[in-house]
Each structure stands twice: as structure tokens, then as C-alpha cells.
Amino acid sequence: MKSTWNLIGMALWLILFIYFVWMIHNMRSRRLKVIVQEKKAFTWHNFWISCGELVVFLLVFWGMSYTTFFQDVKKLNHRAVRVSYSYKPLIIRYQPNQSDYVVVNNGSGRKPIQRYTYYVEGHKYQTDSTSATVVYGTTNLNVQAQAYKWNKQKLNHMDDRYQRAWVATVTTTYKKNWFNGIGLHAGRQADRFSLIRIPDKSFMTVKK
């Protein structure tokens, strides 16, 4: 577990499950009571009580589900997340035919995803086009990368220092607090995006 704050969310989900079981039992008990005591299969009074219990359950279930599964981290208040940046030079991989900084494997199917392989500080890294992009040429940003807030002066400095061969990564992490604990997110990574910068297309090996 990333943070003990997530125990709040676990407790709330448990309470919601217990309430659901109690609600089903209570509805059944009240219906049986109406049948036995009032000799009726349906009463409006019993119906509205059941509706009220169901509405409460659905509202809480929707709120918990949204907070846990469907929360858009990019729309969260900056006080709920921590954003960090890292910048590292790429290591060139020398090959007999073509040396490269990054290898691109093209996917297949209706929604093909590219997979990128590169080396930093002697370690091999792999990511895909859903959480990374490759930029080459005179600019160090493209449309996809511009969705994130980069320090453009830092990017230009990396261009000058490492001859346009580096990778910048922005990581968003949920802060450890009670609010994020409700959604079981406290301390967990929310988003990670890498900007892979190479001098030109000739330093990229594309495999189909």
C-alpha cells in the first residue's frame, strides 16, 4: 500500500458493500411484512422507502466509482497532485548498419500503438506512444508534448548541452492526503509522459 490514507477509501467501499447487503435484506423483510400483516403485495409507502434507500446507494456508489476509477488527473487541483520533471541524455546504440538513439516498433490492429526503446545511463527503457512521443528536427516540442507544461528554457538548454539527444519525463503523483485516500490513490503514480528528443530521423530505427 502506497499510503495509509488509502484505508479511508477501503473502509468506505466496505461500508457501501455492507449497506448494499442490508438494503437488499431490508427490502425483502419489509415486503414479507406487508404481505403477512397487510395481506398486500404492494404498498406505496413501502415502495417509496425502497426507492429512497436505492437512491442513497446509487449516489454514494456513483461518487465512489468516479473518485476511484474515472477521475481525470489533469483536471485535479494542483494541491491534490505533485508534478516532477527529470531530464537525462540519451545513449547512442552503435550498430553495423545504422546507429540509433531510439528503436520504434510499430504495432498492428485497429488502433496500432508504437513502442519505443531507448537507453539512458546504461539502462534500457521501454514505453509506448500512449505515454511518450519522439521529437526530431529543429523543434524540441510537438503537438502531443505541448499538452504538458514544460520549462522551454530547460529544453533549449538540453538541446545545446546534449546535441538534441535527451529524454525529459514528467511524472504526476497523487499526494498523500485524505482526499486522495477516498479514491485509493494516495501516494500512487497518476500519469507519466516522456519526451524523447533526437537530432533527426536518421537516428531512429523503425521496425514493422
Sign of the torsion formed by the C-alpha atoms of 119, 120, 125 and 129: negative
What are the cell numbers at 117? 526503446
> 9-13, 26-30, 94-98, 142-146: which range is least confident on average?
94-98
Cα–Cα distance measured from residue 201 to residue 86, given in angstroms and rounded to the nearest whole number: 24
Percent of the chain having pLDDT more than 90? 78
Residue 180 burial (10 A CB sphere; 0-12, 13-18, 19+): buried
What pTM was computed for the model? Answer: 0.81
Contact 53, 31 (CB under 8 A): no
Task: Express each pLDDT in 143-198 by its tens digit.
Answer: 999 989 999 999 999 999 999 999 999 999 999 999 899 999 999 999 999 999 99
Q: Supply the pLDDT for residue 74.
A: 74
User: Using the 8-state DSSP alphabet, how is residue 35 labeled?
Assistant: I
